[in-house]
C-alpha cells in the first residue's frame, strides 16, 4: 500500500477550503495550519500563467524527518503515511529543520504537528478532509498500488510533477499540470 | 413577480396548498403549540443546517465534539447548492459561533450617535424602547416612514413586522448594490430573472464567458463546482477582465479589457454573430422580437470599432465570438452577480442577455435552465394593511424599472429635504453593515443622523451597530431555527436549519425578536406560531413531511412537476414580456423612456497619476461580515492593493510596503494598505478585496487591518433605469509617506 | 515578473515567513559542546602521550571547564525544547540515523567522563579535598587504576562530540547552507581551536602556552582552509547551494561572518599567534578571547543563516 495525493493545479482556485476543513477536522489551533495554498504567477501582463497548489506534508518515501528524529516520535505507518507521536516527541525541532517543504510546525502544546493524510478518516474508508471538502474536486487521494484508485487513475491520464524532487525525498504529493 | 413556472403550478396542483393556506388562518395559537417542542438539549449527533455565511445557503451538518462544542460543519451530500462540499466560509462558519467578539446582550445608546457609548439592557427594555419609538413615528409620520434593510434569513421576520405595521419599505442592498441591473435586464429581455442561485447550466456548458465575473474568487459554491466540472469536460472559458483573475487563469481566452468598455465588446460580439450569421436562426426566428432593429443597431459596431475602445484585438473578438457560436446553444455568457459598475449597467447586462438570446442558450442544456422553487405554504395571517405612500414617489421619473426597494433610495430619502413627502424616521437594519455596504459613506451617515430610531440586529459589532440606538444581538445560524430554504434549483428542494447549540450569551433568534416587538405593537396576529419549530412543523406537514423527518435528513428533494428543465424541441414558449417573446428590442424600456437597445457610452477615465479602483472578492470572505471570523481571518487577515509592476516602478512601491490611497475627491483611506506588486493587474487600475479596513474597535481581530474600498467610493454612478449604484468610477492615487508608528499600530 | 506566494495566510510559529525553529540556545550549546570537546581532547591526548606533568594545565586544570560547559550547554538545549516534559524520551532509544540521537548519547558519555576526570583532579584546586565516603574513595581509586582507558574514551568521544556539532547541521539536506560535509571537520577544528585558546588563556607555563599557541595557529590555518574549501564547494554546486553561499557573499550575513568569524576570530588571532611565536610579547588574553569569540560567532551565524537558506521553492 502506498497512499498518495494528486492536486489538479488547473482546477484549484486557491479558495483555501482545504485549510479550514483540515483545521476543523483535526482541531488544528487557530494560527496554525497543516496545509496551505501556493500561487505562482509567471509572465508579463497580459501574457500570464497561474499555478495554484494546495500543499501539505508530502509523506515522502525517503522522509528526512523520520530519519532525523532522535526518539522515533516521527514514524511511518501503513501506506507510507508519516505521523508524529506527541508523547514521544521532545520538540527538538530537528524534523522541522529537516523538511524542505516546511510542512511541520511546533504545536502550541510543544510537540510537532503535521498533516496525517487524515489517517483516522482513511482507516474508516473516508477521504482526507481536504479532499472531501474541495469545491473544485481538484484533489485525488488513494493507494498508488491499487491501479483503480482515484489517484492512480488520474496520474495515468495526466502530466504531473512533484515538488523539489531533487531533494531526494521521493515526495508523494503529485501536482497535475 | 410570478414566473411562468409558478403560474403553471398554481393552476395544476392548486387545491392542496391553497386549501391548506385558507384552513391555516384559523390556526392562531392552535393545539400545535405543545408536543413539538423538541429541546436543543435532546439533539444528539449531527444537526442539519443551511449556511448563513453567504447568500448561497448551502445545506450541511453540524458536528459536535464529546464535550458538546460545535467542531465542524460538513456539506449535505443531498444538497443541490453544495453537493456535500461547503466552501471555505461555510466550513469556517464555526468561527462565527466561536468568535469571542460577538454581540452578547442588547445595548441601548447613551450618548449622541456615532460616539459608541451604550449601556447593556434587558430584552424587555430594548423592546419597550423600540416599540415606543415606532409608535411615535407611526403616529406622527405614518408607518411608511419605517424602513427595513436586510440581508439574510432573519430579515424575513422583520419584514413581516414592517408589512404588518403598514410599511412596504423592505430593501436589500443585494439589489441596488449588487445584482439588480442583471435582474432588470433579463426581466426586460426574457421576462424572467436570473435568481439566486443562478440558473446557469455551467455543469454542461461547452463555453463559459465571464465578464468581470470572477468565479473562484467569488466563492458561489455551486457555480465554482460546476465550473470545475466544465473544465474537466474540456469546456472553453473566455474571461473578460482587466485583471488576471483566477478564472482568467483557467481560460482559453483572457481578454484584458480596458476597464469600463465592456459594453463595446459585447456589441462587437453581437455584430460578429449577426454579420457572420452565427446566431441560432430558428431560435431567433421563433422566440425573439426585434432582430432587425438589433441588426441595424449594431451594423457599425465592428470588432475594429471596438478595438479602439476596448484595446482588444479584432481577431480575438471574432475568434471568441465564433467559439461561442460553435458551442451554442451550450454556451453561457454569464450575467455576473455584482454588476453595479458604471451606471449603465442595466444596458450592459441587456447586451449580455441579447447575446445569449442570439446564441439560443436561454432554456437550453449547457445554457440557462428553468429553475424550480418549492412552493411552501406561508404561515396564515390576516392581509397586510395597504400602505398609502411609497419611496417611489420620492424619485419621480427615476428608476422606473426598479422592481425592488432601493437601499440607496431609502437612504437618500431619509436625508432631510424640503421636497420630500415621506421622510424616513426609523430604520431597522438586519444583518447588513450599511456603512460598508452602501457607497458614499458620508451620505449614509447623514441619513442615519436624521433618524429618530435606528435598530440594528446582528451577531457581530459591525460598524453599523456603532450608530444604532438599540442593538439587538442575534444568535448565529448554528444556534437557531429559521425558515426552510426552498430553492430555486434544477429540482425543487427544501433544507432545514435547526440549532446545534443553545444560543450563547444573551443572544436570541430574529424570529423571537420580531415576534416580541409584534406583541408590543399590537400586530401579533401576523405571527400565528409561538415558536419557529411549531411553524416549521406546520409548514412541513402541509407538504407531507415533518420537522422530525427533516431533522434526520436535513434536505428533501422533490421531483419537478414537469420534465421541463430545458425547452423541448420546438416548444411554444411564452415569455413574460409585453410581446410574449424574447425582446431583443425592449418595448418596456422604450415605453419607460430608456434606450430599447443598449448603446455604448464612454466613461470617465482616471486622471494622470490616478488609477481606477477595482474591487472584488476573496474566496475566504463574504463582504465585510467575515473579516473577524477567527477561522477565516486565519486564511486572510487583511487585503492588499494590487499594483502593476510598471506603476510600482513609477511610484517606487514594493510588495509588503504600506501606503494610503486617496481618491479623486481627496478622500483618504482610513488605514494604510499593503502593496502587492503583481502582473495580475492592468497598469491603469488597482485592485483590492472588499470588506477590510474595519474601524470598529470592538472587532478586535480585524480592526484597522487593510483598507476599505467603500471608504474610497465617494462617487456613485447611479443607473437611471433601476437605481443601481455604480461603484467603479472612482480613481485613487498613492500616499507613500507614512510615519512608522501608523504602520505599527 | 514572477511571483510565488502562500495565499492561505499560513503563519506557522517558528516556520514562517522563514524557518526560525532554533534560537540562541542552540548555537550556544554547539559552542559549549565544541569547547568542551576541544578541552577534553587535549587533556586526554597529552595524558596518553605521558606529558601530564609537562602540560599540567591542559591535562589537569583546564578540563574543569568541560563539565561546566557541557551542563550549561545541555541546559541551553533543554531550554530550547518545545516539549520539555518528554526530554527523557531521548534516552529510551538509540537511532543511528539521527545525529541528534547518537549526539545525545555521546554527550551523556562525555559529560560523565568529564566529571570523572575532574573528580580525579579535584586536588589541583582543593589540595585538601576528602571524598568522605568510603565508596567514593573506592570509586576514585578504581578510576585512577583505569585512567588510561578513561582517557581513551574521552579522546574518542571528544572527537565525536566535536564532529557531531557539525554533523548535526550538515545532515539537514533541506537547509543547503548546512548540507556540506565540510561542516563536521570545520566544527571540530573550531572546537579544538577554542580548546587550545582556553588552555593558552589559563596556562602560566610559557612552554605550554607556546605549544598551544602553535597548535592554535595550525588549527586556525586549517579552519581558514576549510572555509575556503566550503565556499568553493558551494559555488561549484547547485543553485540552492550557490544561493546559500550568497548569504555570506553579499547577502545579509556577509558582514557578521567575515568580520566576526574570519577576521576577528581567525586571521587576527592567527597573526597575533605568529607574532607571539616570533618572539614578541602579546598578552595571551587578546588572541585567546578572540578565538573563543570567533568560535562562538561562527556557530551563531551558521545556525541562523542556515535556517534562512532553503530550496528554490
Partner residue opposite C6 with nearest CB, options A37, A42, A89: A37
Our separate counts of H helices and E strands in chain B read: 27, 26
Would you give the distance in Å from CA A131 to the centre of its chain?
A: 11
Residue C89 to residue A111, Cβ atoms within 8 A: no
Q: Which residues of chain B have pLDDT under 70?
A: 1-44, 421-422, 739-745
What chain B residue is nearest to A44 in terms of C-alpha separation? Answer: B679
The answer to whether residue B630 neighbours chain C at the CB level (below 8 Å) is no
Q: Does C24 contact chain A (CB < 8 Å)?
A: no
Determine the structural domain holding residue C272 and report its residue range.
Answer: 25-84+95-308
A173 touching chain B per CB within 8 A: no
State how far the Cα of B630 lies from the Cα of A29, in Å rounded to an integer.
10
Whether residues C12 and A163 touch (CB distance < 8 A) is answered with no
Coil/strand/helix, residue B407 = helix
Question: Which segments of B498-616 are extended strands (E)?
Answer: 555-557, 582-583, 611-616
Strands B640-643 and B426-430: unpaired
Do B192 and B63 fall within a single domain? no
B228 and A17 within 8 Å at the Cβ level: the answer is no
Q: Which residues of B touch C8 (CB under 8 A)?
A: 620, 635-636
Which chain B residue has its CA at the smallest distance from C12's CA?
Answer: B634
Query: How many of the other CB atoms lie within 10 Å of CB of B383?
Result: 6
Residue with cell 473579516: B627
Within the 7-36 window of chain C, which residues sit less than 8 Å (CB to CB) from chain B?
7-9
Residue C164 belongs to a domain: yes
B vs C, Cβ pairs < 8 A, gives 15
| Cβ-contact A48, A41 below 8 angstroms | yes
Q: Is C4 on the interface with A (CB under 8 A)?
A: yes
**CB of A71 closer than 8 Å to CB of A88:** yes
Task: Read off the pLDDT of residues B450-500 as tens digits, 9 standing for 90 and up.
Answer: 999 999 999 999 999 999 999 999 999 999 999 999 989 999 999 999 999
Q: C282: which DSSP letter?
A: -
| Residues spanned by the domain of A23 | 3-176
- For A109-126, what is the mean pLDDT? 96
Looking at the fold, whether B480 and B461 belong to one and the same domain comes out as: no
Residue B553 lies in a domain: yes
Q: In total, how many domains does chain A have? A: 1
Complete DSSP assignment for B82-126:
TTT---HHHHTTHHHHH-TTS--S-EEE-SSTTS--EEE--HHHH
Number of structural domains chain C divides into: 1
Query: Under a CB-based contact definition with an 8 Å cutoff, are residues B438 and B173 in contact?
Result: yes
Q: Are strands B118-120 and B146-150 parallel, antiparallel or unpaired?
A: unpaired
Contact assignment for A111 to C238 by CB distance below 8 Å: no
B590-to-B186, B285, B578, B595 alpha-carbon distances in Å: 15, 22, 12, 6
> Over its length of 313 residues, how does chain C's per-residue pLDDT go in tens digits?
899 999 999 999 999 999 999 999 999 999 999 999 999 999 999 999 999 999 999 999 999 999 999 999 999 999 999 999 999 999 999 999 999 999 999 999 999 999 999 999 999 899 999 888 999 999 999 999 999 999 999 999 999 999 998 999 999 999 999 999 999 999 999 999 999 999 999 999 989 999 999 999 999 999 999 999 999 999 999 999 999 999 999 999 999 999 999 999 999 999 999 998 888 888 888 999 999 999 999 999 999 999 999 987 6
Q: In angstroms, how far is CA B474 from the centroid of its own chain?
A: 21
- For residue B390, the tally of other CB atoms under 10 A from its CB is 14
Q: Is residue B467 part of a domain?
A: yes
Which of B634, B640, B686 is the best mutation test for A, with the most CBs of A within 10 A? B634
CB-based burial of residue C129 (10 Å sphere; 0-12 exposed, 13-18 middle, 19+ buried)?
exposed
Provide the chain A residues 44-83 that lie in CB contact (below 8 A) with chain B: 44-46, 48-50, 52
Domain region containing B505 = 1-101+476-510+524-567
| Cα–Cα separations (whole angstroms), residue B706 to B22, B151, B396, B436, B695 | 54, 24, 40, 14, 10
Burial classification of residue B333, based on how many CB atoms lie within 10 Å of its CB (0-12 exposed, 13-18 middle, 19 or more buried): buried
Considering the domain boundaries, does residue B518 fall inside one? no
Please tell me the predicted confidence (pLDDT) of residue B422: 64
Paired sense of beta strands B236-240 and B253-255, if any: parallel
Does a structural domain hold residue C221?
yes
Count of the separate structural domains present in chain B = 4
Number of residue pairs across A and C with CB atoms under 8 Å? 164
* pLDDT for the residue numbered C227: 96
CB contact A176 to B (< 8 Å): no
Cβ–Cβ of A48/B244 closer than 8 Å? yes
Contact (Cβ atoms closer than 8 angstroms) between residue B477 and residue B501: no
Indicate whether C272 belongs to any domain: yes
Instruction: Answer yes or no: are the C-beta atoms of B453 and B481 closer than 8 Å.
Output: no
Q: Identify whether C146 is part of a domain.
A: yes
CA dist., res. B540 & res. B526, Å (int): 19
What lies within 8 Å, CB to CB, of A153 at 6+ separation is: A140, A147
ipTM of the complex: 0.96
In a domain, B111, yes or no: yes
Distance separating alpha carbons of residues B490 and B203, to the nearest angstrom: 12
**Is residue C13 situated within a structural domain?**
no
- Rounded Cα distance, B473 and B459, in Å: 6
**Residue A7, beta-bridge partner list:** A139, A175
Instruction: Write the CATH number for A74.
Output: 3.30.70.20
Does residue B166 sit in the same domain as residue B187? no
Task: Verify whether the Cβ–Cβ distance C8 to B635 is below 8 Å.
Answer: yes
Q: Say whether residue A76 is in contact with chain C using an 8 A CB cutoff.
A: no
From chain C, pick out residues whose CB is under 8 angstroms from the CB of A164. Answer: 311-313
Say if residue B110 is in the same domain as residue B95.
no
d(CA B402, CA B169): 13
A49 close contact with C: CB closer than 8 A: no
* Chains in contact with chain B (at least 3 beta-carbon pairs closer than 8 A): A, C
What CA dihedral angle connects B340, B346, B347 and B352, to 10 degrees? Answer: 90
For residue B192, the distance in angstroms to the closest alpha carbon of chain C comes to: 39
Cell of B615: 474591487
Strand partners, B61: B48, B74
Say whether C93 and A71 touch across the interface (CB within 8 A): yes
How far apart CA B527 and CA C60 sit, in angstroms, is 96
Specify the DSSP element, H or E, that contains B190.
Answer: helix B180-190
Q: d(Cα B407, Cα B174) in Å, to the nearest integer?
A: 9
Within this chain, do residues B299 and B285 fall inside the same structural domain, yes or no? yes
B588: helix, strand or coil: helix
Residue C171, domain CATH = 1.20.1630.10
d(CA B522, CA B513): 14
| B224 and B116 assigned to the same domain | no
A48 bridge partner residues? A43
Please tell me whether residues B199 and B329 are part of one structural domain: yes
Asked if residue A146 has pLDDT above 60, the reply is: yes
Round to whole Å and give the CA distance between B410 and B396. 14
Residues of A in contact with B252 (CB under 8 A): none
In whole angstroms, give the CA distance from residue B92 to residue B72: 8
pLDDT at B417: 84
Residue in chain C lying closest to B636 (CA): C9
Residue C312: is it exposed, middle or buried by C-beta count within 10 angstroms (0-12/13-18/19+)?
exposed
Per-residue DSSP letters for B324-356? HHHHTTSEEE---S---SSS-HHHHHHHHHHHH
Q: Which residues contact B281 (CB under 8 A, 6 or more apart)?
A: none
Q: Which helix (H) or strand (E) holds B61?
A: strand B59-64
> CA of C30, closest CA in chain A: separation in Å?
14
Burial of C237: CB neighbours in 10 Å, binned 0-12, 13-18, 19+: middle
> Does B702 contact chain C (CB < 8 Å)?
no
> Do B265 and B117 fall into the same domain?
no
Cell of B354: 441579447
- Subunits in contact with chain C (3 or more CB pairs closer than 8 Å): A, B
* C:107-146 residues touching chain A, CB 8 A cutoff: none
Contacts 24+ apart (CB under 8 A), C237-241: C238/A166, C238/C176, C239/C312, C240/C176, C240/C309, C240/C310, C240/C311, C240/C312, C241/C176, C241/C177, C241/C179, C241/C180
- Cell matching residue B690: 472588499
DSSP letters spanning A150-165: HHHHHHHHS-EE-S-G
| Cβ pair A37:C101 closer than 8 A | no
Q: What is the pTM of this model?
A: 0.92
Amino acid at each position: 500500500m502506498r497512499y498518495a495525493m494528486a492536486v489538479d493545479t488547473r482546477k484549484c482556485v486557491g479558495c483555501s477550503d482545504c485549510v479550514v476543513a483540515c483545521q476543523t477536522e483535526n482541531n488544528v489551533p487557530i494560527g496554525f495550519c497543516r496545509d496551505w495554498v501556493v500561487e505562482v504567477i509567471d509572465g508579463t501582463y497580459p501574457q500570464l500563467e497561474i499555478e495554484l497548489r494546495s500543499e501539505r506534508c508530502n509523506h515522502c518515501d525517503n522522509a528526512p524527518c523520520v530519519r532525523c528524529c532522535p526518539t522515533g516520535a516521527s514514524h511511518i505507518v501503513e501506506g507510507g503515511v508519516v505521523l508524529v507521536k506527541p508523547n514521544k516527541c521532545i520538540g527538538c525541532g530537528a524534523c522541522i529543520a529537516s523538511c524542505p517543504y516546511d510542512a511541520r510546525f511546533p504545536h502550541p502544546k510543544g510537540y510537532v504537528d503535521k498533516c496525517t493524510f487524515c489517517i483516522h478518516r482513511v482507516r474508516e474508508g473516508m477521504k482526507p478532509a481536504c479532499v472531501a471538502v474541495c469545491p473544485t474536486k481538484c484533489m485525488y487521494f488513494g493507494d498508488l498500488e491499487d491501479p483503480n484508485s482515484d489517484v492512480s487513475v488520474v496520474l495515468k491520464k495526466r502530466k504531473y510533477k512533484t515538488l523539489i524532487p531533487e531533494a531526494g525525498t521521493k515526495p508523494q504529493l503529485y501536482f497535475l499540470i | 413577480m410570478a414566473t411562468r413556472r409558478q403560474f403553471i403550478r398554481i393552476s395544476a396542483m392548486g387545491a392542496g396548498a391553497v386549501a391548506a393556506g385558507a384552513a391555516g388562518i384559523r390556526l392562531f395559537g392552535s393545539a400545535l403549540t405543545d408536543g413539538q417542542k423538541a429541546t436543543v438539549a435532546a439533539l444528539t449527533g449531527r444537526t442539519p443546517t443551511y449556511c448563513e455565511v453567504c447568500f448561497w445557503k448551502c445545506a450541511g451538518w453540524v458536528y459536535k465534539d464529546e464535550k458538546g462544542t460545535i467542531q465542524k460543519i460538513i456539506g449535505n451530500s443531498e444538497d443541490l447548492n453544495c453537493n456535500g462540499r461547503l466552501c471555505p466560509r461555510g466550513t469556517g462558519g464555526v468561527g462565527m459561533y466561536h468568535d469571542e467578539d460577538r454581540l452578547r446582550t442588547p445595548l441601548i445608546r447613551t450618548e449622541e450617535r456615532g460616539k459608541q457609548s451604550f449601556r447593556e439592557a434587558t430584552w424587555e427594555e430594548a423592546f419597550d424602547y423600540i416599540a415606543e419609538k415606532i409608535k411615535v413615528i407611526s403616529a406622527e409620520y405614518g408607518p411608511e416612514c419605517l424602513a427595513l434593510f436586510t440581508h439574510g434569513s432573519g430579515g424575513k421576520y422583520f419584514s413581516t413586522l414592517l408589512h404588518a405595521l403598514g410599511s412596504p419599505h423592505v430593501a436589500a442592498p443585494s439589489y441596488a448594490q449588487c445584482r439588480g441591473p442583471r435582474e432588470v435586464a433579463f426581466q426586460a429581455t426574457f421576462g424572467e430573472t436570473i435568481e439566486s442561485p443562478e440558473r446557469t447550466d455551467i455543469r454542461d456548458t461547452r463555453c463559459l464567458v465571464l465578464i468581470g465575473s470572477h468565479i473562484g474568487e467569488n466563492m458561489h459554491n455551486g457555480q465554482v463546482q460546476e465550473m470545475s466540472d466544465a473544465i474537466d469536460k474540456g469546456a472553453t472559458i473566455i474571461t473578460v477582465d482587466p485583471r488576471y483573475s483566477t478564472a482568467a487563469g483557467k481560460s482559453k481566452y483572457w481578454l484584458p479589457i480596458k476597464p469600463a468598455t465592456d459594453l463595446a465588446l459585447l456589441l462587437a460580439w453581437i455584430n460578429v454573430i449577426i454579420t457572420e450569421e452565427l446566431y441560432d436562426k430558428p431560435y431567433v426566428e421563433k422566440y425573439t422580437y426585434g432582430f432587425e432593429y438589433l441588426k441595424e443597431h449594431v451594423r457599425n459596431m465592428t470588432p475594429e470599432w471596438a478595438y479602439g475602445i476596448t484595446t482588444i484585438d479584432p481577431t480575438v473578438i471574432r475568434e471568441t465570438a465564433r467559439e461561442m457560436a460553435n458551442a451554442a446553444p451550450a454556451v453561457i455568457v454569464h450575467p455576473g452577480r455584482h454588476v453595479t459598475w458604471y451606471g449603465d449597467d442595466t444596458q450592459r447586462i441587456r447586451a449580455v442577455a441579447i447575446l445569449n438570446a442570439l446564441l439560443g442558450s436561454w432554456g437550453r442544456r449547457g445554457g440557462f435552465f428553468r429553475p424550480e422553487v418549492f412552493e411552501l405554504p406561508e404561515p396564515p395571517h390576516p392581509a397586510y394593511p395597504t400602505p398609502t405612500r411609497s419611496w417611489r414617489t420620492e424619485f419621480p421619473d427615476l428608476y422606473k424599472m426598479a422592481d425592488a426597494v432601493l437601499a440607496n433610495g431609502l437612504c437618500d430619502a431619509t436625508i432631510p429635504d424640503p421636497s420630500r413627502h415621506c421622510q424616513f424616521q426609523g430604520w431597522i437594519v438586519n444583518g447588513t453593515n450599511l456603512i460598508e455596504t452602501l457607497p458614499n459613506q458620508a451620505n449614509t451617515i447623514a441619513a442615519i443622523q436624521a433618524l429618530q430610531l435606528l435598530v440594528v440586529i446582528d451577531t457581530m459589532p459591525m460598524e453599523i451597530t456603532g450608530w444604532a440606538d438599540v442593538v439587538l444581538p442575534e444568535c448565529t445560524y448554528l444556534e437557531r431555527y429559521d425558515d426552510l430554504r426552498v430553492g430555486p434549483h434544477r429540482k425543487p428542494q427544501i433544507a432545514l436549519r435547526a440549532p446545534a447549540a443553545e444560543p450563547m450569551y444573551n443572544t436570541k433568534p430574529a424570529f423571537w425578536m420580531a415576534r416580541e416587538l409584534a406583541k408590543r405593537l399590537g400586530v401579533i396576529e401576523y405571527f400565528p406560531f409561538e415558536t419557529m419549530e411549531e411553524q416549521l412543523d406546520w409548514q412541513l406537514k402541509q407538504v407531507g413531511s415533518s420537522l422530525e423527518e427533516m431533522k434526520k435528513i436535513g434536505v428533501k428533494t422533490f421531483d419537478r412537476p414537469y420534465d421541463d428543465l430545458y425547452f423541448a424541441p420546438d416548444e411554444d414558449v411564452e415569455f413574460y414580456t409585453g410581446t410574449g417573446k424574447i425582446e431583443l428590442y425592449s418595448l418596456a424600456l422604450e415605453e419607460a423612456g430608456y434606450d430599447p437597445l443598449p448603446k455604448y457610452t464612454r466613461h470617465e477615465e482616471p486622471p494622470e497619476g490616478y488609477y481606477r479602483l477595482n474591487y472584488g472578492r476573496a474566496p475566504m470572505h463574504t463582504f465585510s461580515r467575515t473579516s473577524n471570523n477567527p477561522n477565516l481571518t486565519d486564511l486572510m487577515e487583511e487585503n492588499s492593493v494590487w499594483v502593476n509592476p510598471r506603476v510600482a516602478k513609477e511610484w517606487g512601491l514594493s510588495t509588503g510596503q504600506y501606503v494610503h490611497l486617496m481618491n479623486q475627491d481627496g478622500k483618504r483611506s482610513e488605514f494604510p494598505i499593503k502593496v502587492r506588486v503583481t502582473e495580475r493587474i492592468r497598469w491603469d487600475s488597482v485592485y483590492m478585496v472588499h470588506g477590510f479596513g474595519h474601524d470598529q474597535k470592538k472587532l478586535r481581530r480585524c480592526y484597522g487591518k487593510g483598507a476599505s474600498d467603500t471608504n474610497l467610493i465617494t462617487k456613485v454612478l447611479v443607473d437611471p433605469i433601476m437605481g443601481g449604484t455604480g461603484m467603479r468610477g472612482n480613481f485613487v492615487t498613492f500616499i507613500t509617506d507614512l510615519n512608522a508608528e501608523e504602520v505599527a499600530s | 515578473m514572477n511571483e510565488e506566494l502562500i495565499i492561505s495566510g499560513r503563519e506557522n510559529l517558528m516556520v514562517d515567513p522563514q524557518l526560525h525553529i532554533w534560537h540562541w540556545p542552540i548555537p550556544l550549546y554547539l559552542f559549549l559542546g565544541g569547547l568542551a570537546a576541544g578541552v577534553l581532547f587535549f587533556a586526554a591526548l597529552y595524558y596518553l602521550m605521558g606529558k601530564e606533568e609537562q602540560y599540567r594545565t591542559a591535562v589537569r586544570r583546564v578540563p574543569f571547564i568541560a563539565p561546566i560547559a557541557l551542563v550549561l550547554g545541555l541546559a541551553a538545549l533543554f531550554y530550547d525544547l518545545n516539549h520539555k516534559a518528554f526530554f527523557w524520551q531521548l534516552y529510551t532509544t538509540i537511532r543511528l540515523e539521527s545525529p541528534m540521537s547518537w549526539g545525545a548519547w555521546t554527550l551523556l558519555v562525555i559529560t560523565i567522563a568529564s566529571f570523572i576526570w575532574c573528580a580525579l583532579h579535584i586536588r589541583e584546586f582543593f589540595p585538601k579535598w576528602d571524598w568522605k565516603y568510603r565508596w567514593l574513595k573506592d570509586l576514585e581509586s578504581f578510576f585512577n587504576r583505569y585512567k588510561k582507558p578513561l582517557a581513551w574514551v574521552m579522546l574518542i568521544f571528544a572527537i565525536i562530540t566535536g564532529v557531531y556539532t557539525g554533523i548535526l547541521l550538515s545532515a539537514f539536506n533541506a537547509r543547503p547552507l548546512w548540507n556540506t560535509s565540510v561542516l563536521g571537520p570545520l566544527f571540530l577544528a573550531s572546537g579544538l581551536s577554542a580548546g587550545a585558546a582556553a588552555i593558552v588563556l589559563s596556562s602560566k607555563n610559557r612552554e605550554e602556552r607556546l605549544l598551544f599557541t602553535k597548535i592554535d595557529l595550525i588549527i586556525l590555518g586549517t579552519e581558514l582552509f576549510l572555509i575556503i574549501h566550503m565556499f568553493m564547494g558551494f559555488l561549484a554546486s547547485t543553485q540552492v547551494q550557490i544561493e546559500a553561499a550568497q548569504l555570506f557573499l553579499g547577502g545579509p550575513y556577509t558582514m557578521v561572518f567575515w568580520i566576526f568569524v574570519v577576521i576577528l576570530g581567525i586571521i587576527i588571532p592567527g597573526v597575533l599567534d605568529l607574532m607571539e611565536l616570533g618572539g614578541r610579547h602579546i598578552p595571551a588574553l587578546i588572541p585567546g578571547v578572540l578565538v573563543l569569540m570567533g568560535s562562538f560567532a561562527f556557530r551563531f551565524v551558521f545556525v541562523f543563516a542556515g535556517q534562512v537558506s532553503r530550496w528554490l521553492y
